[in-house]
Structure 1
Amino acid sequence: MTLAHKLSWIGVACVMAALGCRELNPNFNASADTDESCDDRNQSFSHSNCDGACVDTELNIEHCGGCAQPCFDHEVCKAGVCLVDCPGDRRSCDGSCVDTQTSLQHCGACGIACSLGEYCVNGACDSECPAPSLVCEPVCVDTDSSVDHCGMCNTACNDDRSCVMGTCDLVCDPPQTACADACVDTNTNSMHCGGCDQPCDGFCMEGACVQECAASLVSCGQSCVDLQTDPLHCGGCNQLCKAKELCDAGQCECEPDLDSCGEACVDLRTDKVNCGSCGHACAAAQSCKEGECACKGGKTVCDDGCFDTDKDASHCGDCDTACAMGESCERGGCE
């Protein structure tokens, strides 16, 4: 545990025990209001005394941006602002969770819209809806995996569910387990300690009910957690890591094989808006394969999309050659 964390928890202990703390931490003010830092030695975080505890209001989901300002479900607190954290492979676009593999307004990435009459197929705009996908107007979807059309058209899964083989299921990321329609960590959850529906009167530590936490762990509510590795309490209680993040040394980091681009963890090999590198976006009709923007069906990659340069009059023979008005493109030549 770092010096800053030790000082922070000393401050919490002092408030709880109503002790004079000035000897232990001369910067600590037990009567500090929410505008003051409860640990002035740690200037890189915005700590405040909320409900008798020293919390980071830039990261804490119960006190996001200030005391008693909780985030909603499926939100995380980043820089003091509650942000939508979409489950599974869905992304937050304009404040809503969308499937960028099928969305006509956000095809492959937020803000990339397909043209009238096109479908979004696997994150790329296409004029056809290939089998075995089905047209569920106005989108082309795989009903085995689509959360908006699971099993059949217009059968949507709840926000916390995934569509698996045409059925809406609660799918939890390890080490969490599905209990009572929620994903919980049975190693630390006091209502499901060691297994579902096994409540604990004390603290839940490594799946067992104990009366106090081990020296290396911290009590967050009725859970004993490791602030260095717990994604629900990363660096402090109630500081959640986002989807596709893990907690490493008290900091939320992208999972292996993913890279941080802005606020998102992405796969540069397949991410359409960060293809090969952050900010390198593919055109609407393109997809990202192995870090390169690619077109289907042997079409040529041009800056403004995918084209058949044998037939396309605006890209005849190559991306930069346009035929004159009244001419057509035949076998890559204007006629």
Structure 2
Amino acid sequence: MLAPLKTGQQKGETKCGVECADTNKGKDHCGNCETRCMGDAECRAGKCVQPAAAKAAADEEPATVRGQVKADERTPETAAAVEVASATKAAAVEPAPAAKAADGDAVGVDDKEEERKCPTDAPDWCAGSCADTVTSKYHCGGCYRPCFGTKTCVHGACTSPAPSSKLSLHSWLSVFLSWCKSWSHLSGCPPGQKRCPGSQNCIPNGDCCPGDSSCNPPGQKKCNGKCIPIADCCKDEECEGGKTCSDGQCACGDGDRQCGNACIPNERCCSDDDCGGGKICDPSTKKCRCPKGHGKCGETCIPRDRCCKDSDCDEGQACSPAGKCKPRCKQGKRWCESLGRCARCCRDTWECDDDPPCCESGCRAPVPP
């Protein structure tokens, strides 16, 4: 509020419009008619100072504020000093309303300052310099309204910094998965499919599963955009023993057959049951061979002390059907084990052992071998 008007000018006073004021200590006209000390600031020797600084006014120079440097004597340096001092020492001041003379002319207004032009990015004239009162820390929302401490000027208002907001990795992941679920239609999956969240064995940025089912539920896994039982195979690399993956099952290819956990060619043996004629299956080569102490005779195996053909016997001997070398019989006869000599056989074959027994008469000639 302005001080009461004075009717007569006293010594040491200055006429300010229609009133007289002591500009050395008058709070409403401090230093000149234009400057008014704001808040708790006091006017000492024509300068606005805070109460704490007033006590030391005789020893140190009070803060510099607007109005203490004449407009036509200001330089960029003094203008900057005014702005900094206004923010740090809270010597808030603002121009007093210009009083009107009887003839309507403004009194105490600096015509030069009124004519100054500021750029669009700092359109306001404050403390002898141009400022943007929307963002200026020292002129926030208007000239001579500084923001103190860590506050900044945001849209013309001093604003405290936003509190730190740090989310844990788990919280961020939850937010991310929730976002993905909400925007599944933008996931890039084919129509009718949805993107699987990471908690269900799918990576967050990639795999699609049927939209009408829970993606990768317990006991299932992802495979080429669909869910399959976890025991099924998805690709050949999951199969062992040369098998390939077909319809979720590891199987041998064409021309092969399964032998244990491996695949072998169809012509190879897997066990002795695959071999005939007394042969056994070699486990390393998967081929049929005669056991130790036996030799091959045609498609069968016989002990090595047996003969396979007549050439295996000494001269004058022949190989009997039992694989033994016996005296060579004359034509029409064969060695007969039951008789221990050559005899005619009751059959039309050359097998003449104990079954059927050999006969000496009543037999027709055998068929030559």
Q: Same fold (TM over 0.5)?
A: no
Larger RCO: 1 or 2 (CA < 8 Å, sep 6+): 1
Question: Of the two, which has the highest radius of gyration?
Answer: 2
TM-score norm. by structure 2 comes to 0.19
